[in-house]
Amino acid sequence: MWAFIQKHSSPKYFYRLAGRLIPWFGWIFLAFLIAGLYYGLFVAPPDYQQKDSYRIMFIHVPAAWMSMFIYMVIAVAGAIGLVWRIKLADVIAASSAPIGASFTFLALATGSLWGKPMWGAWWVWDARLTSELILLFLYLGIIALNSAIEDKRTASRASAVLALVGVVNIPIIHYSVEWWNTLHQGPTVTKLSAPSIDISMLIPLLLMAIAFQFYYATVVLMRARCEVLDRERNSSWVQDLVSDFRTK
């Protein structure tokens, strides 16, 4: 089992595998994105209260989900890097941080656009919004540590510690609408009982969520391949790769 993990976490093996997976993930992302946008914009009916303004949900909600999911990926990868010192875990964590920050910013921006007609304000210091903003600062902190510390291993350890400490914010984001009296609406899809959202709206929401997952998989593999080349630039297999590229 350990030999299997070592083989598949090898930078050389990962670089080649990621190169084969990226086109597949990219096409799957595009297919789900087109389907989600079509059903969300043209098939799903207007909301009886919010009318067509609710359609921003099909971007806002999946972006918010991804902001938390990617942070957990970073935290788990950081823990693996700290305990087992697997290089690929550090690469995935460092490559994921800018993508997670982008999704978090997108969730905050679309939330403001949605909140203006609903709440009458672009921003309120609501528990859900504030904790999501803190998540953005955590992402920026991880990115800053990876950029400021020259030694990659030291930077990975420092950012992993920050990511693990910041994990406490994830359940706060998720349960904030239940723990406090907030303006943000309560859960509609992730309830233990049946989701309180019509199936015609749920389908495009899930399609967009899957599209965002494959977008993340595509981009993180692209970034990770570049990160692997940078960290392993003195390795023989990278030198051979560069030589083969130059001879073509």
Taking only the tens place, the pLDDT of each residue in 133-146 is 999 999 999 999 99
Inside any domain, residue 60: yes
- Of residues 4 and 104, the one with the higher pLDDT is 104
Distance CA 234, CA 133 (A): 39
**Which residues are CB-contacts of 63 (< 8 A; sequence separation ≥ 6)?**
103, 104, 106, 107, 110, 212
Are 80 and 91 contacting, i.e. CB atoms less than 8 angstroms apart? no
pLDDT at 192: 42
**Which residues are CB-contacts of 131 (< 8 A; sequence separation ≥ 6)?**
169, 172, 173, 176
> Please, which pLDDT band fits residue 190 given cuts at 50, 70 and 90?
low
Percent pLDDT > 90 in the chain is: 68
> Which three-class secondary structure state does DSSP give residue 47?
strand
Percent pLDDT > 70 in the chain is: 89
Is 70 exceeded by the pLDDT of residue 183? no
Helices (H), 85-193: 87-119, 127-148, 152-166, 169-179
Distance CA 41, CA 62 (A): 15
pLDDT at 196: 67
Distance CA 205, CA 201 (A): 6
Inside any domain, residue 132: yes
Is 70 exceeded by the pLDDT of residue 186? no
Lowest mean pLDDT among 55-64, 105-114, 193-202: 193-202
Is 70 exceeded by the pLDDT of residue 45? yes
Is 50 exceeded by the pLDDT of residue 69? yes
Is 80 exceeded by the pLDDT of residue 37? yes
Inside any domain, residue 117: yes
Inside any domain, residue 107: yes
Inside any domain, residue 228: yes
Interval 37-66 mean pLDDT: 92
Inside any domain, residue 129: yes
96-111: pLDDT as tens digits: 999 999 999 999 999 9
Inside any domain, residue 21: no
Inside any domain, residue 39: no
Q: What does the block give as tokens for 205?
A: 């929401």
- Of residues 184 and 111, the one with the higher pLDDT is 111
Distance CA 50, CA 194 (A): 22
The parent domain of residue 83 ranges over 53-243
Our count of domains for the chain comes to 1
pLDDT at 120: 79
Mean pLDDT over all residues of the chain?
90
Distance CA 214, CA 4 (A): 25
> Which three-class secondary structure state does DSSP give residue 51?
strand
Lowest mean pLDDT among 125-129, 169-173, 189-193: 189-193
Amino acid letter, 247 = T
Is 90 exceeded by the pLDDT of residue 225? yes
